[in-house]
Amino acid sequence: MPLDSSYQETVDYLYGLQKHGIKLGLENSIRLMELMGNPQEKFRTVHIAGTNGKGSTSACIAGMLESAGYRVGLYTSPHLVSFTERIRVNGAPIPESIVVALAQRVRREYRGPAAGGSPGSPTFFEVTTAIAFRYFADQGVDIAVIEVGMGGRLDSTNVITPLVSVITNIDLEHTEFLGTTLEQIAAEKAGIVKAGVPLVTGATQAEVIRVIEREAEGKRAPVYRLSRDFQPEHIAPGIEQVFDYRGLQAAYQGLRLSLLGRYQVDNACCALAAVECLRGSGIVVDEPALRQGLAQARWEGRLERVAQRPDIYLDGAHNPASARKLAEAVRGLKKSYSRLVLVIGILGDKDYHGILSELISLADRVVVTKPQYSRALNVDVLAAEVRKLHASVESTETVR
């Protein structure tokens, strides 16, 4: 591709890397970071793993840091509309021209270690991570909030040594890659723990806690747990949730959060505890900035109300655990509607049986469709499954 490649051609190249699948390992990532000048060494970081809630927690942390006046990078996945959403500085997506330039650098110079100098095959996420870290370094961010792509131990982002690590929660997911038990998955997530670096976690299961604390003890990393070391109190649900926070050193009353769902309060508390830990590294967020950052935090596509009269909510729950949390949140909204229509499409590699079992009983009517994506589950297959659970079902090939 010539150096003046268009943004669309560059994005096509990046998406084309998905043919290399998912590779759990750091060899390619280390090589890519070297090619990019080891940008991960040029800014401070917060590292966030977990089954659900990573994005919301990341958005809350970034919001509080930005409100305190820091220049903040935010790296998340997936994107909803544009690739550039994945890489942001103080809320602004990376410019398309810089995506082109940095991707071109990889294409021109990368040679895979396994091929003895011949062109290698980095994955989509490996290259995207390299682009993000180089951009953050070039932008001179004070700190970057980095969301793990999958797992933790062998994830492409695990080339950083953060100021604080966060594991939001653990549930069964990506079992073909991470293991088939909670303990195995927890061990992969706990791979982000670094020597002496504090770890904040919202995990609650006893077997998961044992794995996390064993890993942290071996690295002399202090562990701060939701419900033991920090917790929400006096939660008042609503379109804007209000709660008190009892934390590691601080306590705050009447915090406001626009993210819907009781589980988002737990995510916000993990974010608050992580920000408390940053104080030990000289990154201080005062109370007004903390309150403002939480109140203004947004995370699109997570129980997001996009229209009223009738209310229309969008959510991307993609495993049984997140579908269960979504169902709890929708039950909490029951007083605001008289009838619920569920429009649902699921990818074929997800546990759609488990997702459906959590959600279908909430609906008065179900419309089955599919996302415009190669991995989407066939509409007829999904409709047949839904009809086992519900009497009012119709199907359509497109969301529109």
CA distance from start to end of the chain: 35
For residue range 10-22, list pLDDT tens digits in order. Answer: 999 999 887 766 6
Q: Is the bond into 95 cis (omega within 30 degrees of 0)?
A: no
CATH 3.40.47.10 fits 304-395, yes or no: no
Residue 389 in contact with residue 360, Cβ under 8 Å? yes
Q: Which of 71-75, 205-209, 275-279, 374-378 has the lowest mean pLDDT?
A: 374-378
- Spatial distance between the Cα atoms of 149 and 260, rounded to a whole number of angstroms: 24
Q: Is residue 150 predicted with pLDDT exceeding 80?
A: yes
Alpha-carbon torsion (180, 186, 188, 189), positive or negative: positive
Q: Is residue 157 predicted with pLDDT exceeding 90?
A: yes
Helix 124-138 × helix 96-109 angle, to 10°: 120
For 184-222, b/e burial (b = at least 16 CB within 10 A) is: ebbbbbbbbbbeebbbbbbbeeeebbebbbebbeeeebb
> Domain boundaries in the chain?
7-296, 304-395
Q: Which band of pLDDT confidence, cut at 50, 70 and 90, is reported for residue 111? A: low
Q: Is residue 55 predicted with pLDDT exceeding 80?
A: yes
Q: Which band of pLDDT confidence, cut at 50, 70 and 90, is reported for residue 296? A: very high
* Residue in this structure with the two tokens 């991307």, named with its chain if needed: 316
Tell me which of 16 and 289 has the higher pLDDT.
Answer: 289
- Spatial distance between the Cα atoms of 166 and 307, rounded to a whole number of angstroms: 33
Q: Is residue 117 predicted with pLDDT exceeding 60?
A: no
Region 343-360: what's the mean pLDDT? Answer: 95
User: How much is the mean pLDDT over the chain?
Assistant: 92
CA 158 vs. chain centroid, Å, equals: 15
pLDDT of residue 5: 55
Q: Is residue 192 predicted with pLDDT exceeding 80?
A: yes
Burial class (CB in 10 A: 0-12, 13-18, 19+), 29: buried
pLDDT of residue 70: 98
Region 89-109: what's the mean pLDDT? Answer: 95
Coil, strand, or helix at residue 217? Answer: helix
Q: Is residue 3 predicted with pLDDT exceeding 60?
A: no
pLDDT of residue 175: 65
Region 79-85: what's the mean pLDDT? Answer: 93
Q: Which band of pLDDT confidence, cut at 50, 70 and 90, is reported for residue 120? A: low
Share of the chain above pLDDT 90, in %: 80
Coil, strand, or helix at residue 188? Answer: helix
Tell me which of 94 and 117 has the higher pLDDT.
Answer: 94
- Give the right CATH number for 7-296 from 1.10.230.10, 3.40.1190.10, 3.30.565.10, 3.10.330.10: 3.40.1190.10
* Residue in this structure with the two tokens 């977990």, named with its chain if needed: 50
Coil, strand, or helix at residue 256? Answer: strand
Region 304-312: what's the mean pLDDT? Answer: 92
Alpha-carbon torsion (355, 359, 361, 364), positive or negative: negative
Q: How many CB atoms lie within 10 A of CB 34?
A: 10
Tell me which of 341 and 78 has the higher pLDDT.
Answer: 341
pLDDT of residue 237: 84
Q: Measuring CA to CA, how many Å separate 387 from each of 348, 381, 392?
A: 17, 10, 8
